[in-house]
Amino acid sequence: MTGRHRLRRPPRHDLRRTAGAAGAVVVAASAIALSRLAVDDVVAGSAVPVAATRLDPSWATGPAEQDAATAAAPVRLRIPVIGVDSPIVDVGVDETGALVPPGTPEDTGWFTGGPAPGAVGPALLAGHIDSHDGPAVFFRLADLKPGDEISVDREDGSTVAFVVESSIRVAKTAFPTDLVYAPLPTPVLRLVTCGGKLDTAAHSYLDNVIVEAVPR
């Protein structure tokens, strides 16, 4: 794997994919933070792929950043209950700061500017919901429920296990960037993909599904 760089700010979520290769993002952060999002916070969406909010650069500083720098890189994601067994590839951002999704529908992407899964703080993975050929790696992400198990195999041969705590759906125009990327004192995993209705004119889904998991 390549590109294990440390960014000073989270990526801008702007996955320029059509419904035929719909972009999806998987992120890691705090269950407490996401639990503050009530049903009323899920507002009507638009065709904008994902919210383009940037955070304070301090999001990636301190103990979490130091721990992530030494943690083993993830190489495979396994979620048996929804049939996911996917290679993990490195992903970063483009010149505009937008997160670049994996190049194929079968891969899951790890945002190398954040912690590795299992390290302290919010780790981020990315994948697609579908493609021109059919369902992609996170097609069934919204089916995950509290208690479901997630495993991430790492480059050093170890595996870190997570348990799903929550799942929400938010409009892409209201993506909770500040909560998703906020620094944390403990490891937490968030998985995010496209969801909701398809805007056929814009060829884009209106919402994001955010699944949150913590170490088992």
User: Parallel, antiparallel, or unpaired for β 134-135 and 149-154?
Assistant: unpaired
In the chain, the domains with their CATH numbers are 74-215 (2.40.260.10)
For the chain, report the end-to-end CA distance as a whole number of angstroms: 26
The model's confidence at residue 12, banded by pLDDT at 50, 70 and 90, is low
Measured CA to CA, the distance from residue 192 to residue 180 in angstroms comes to 10
Reported as a single tens digit per residue, the pLDDT across 150-177 is: 999 999 999 999 999 999 898 988 888 7
Least confident stretch, 5-14, 19-28, 29-38, 177-186? 29-38
pTM score of the predicted model: 0.72
More confident site: 111 or 87:
87
pLDDT at 84: 98
Least confident stretch, 65-74, 109-118, 149-158? 65-74
Q: Select from 21, 25, 27, 50 the least CA-distant residue to 136.
A: 21
| Across 80-100, average pLDDT | 90
Measured CA to CA, the distance from residue 55 to residue 61 in angstroms comes to 12
Q: Select from 129, 108, 121 the least CA-distant residue to 24.
A: 129
| Across 91-120, average pLDDT | 89
Contact between 34 and 209 (Cβ < 8 Å): no
pLDDT averaged over the chain?
A: 74
Most confident of 7-16, 53-62, 94-103, 185-194: 185-194
- Sign of CA pseudo-dihedral 77, 189, 148, 175: negative
Least confident stretch, 2-6, 80-84, 93-97, 102-106? 2-6
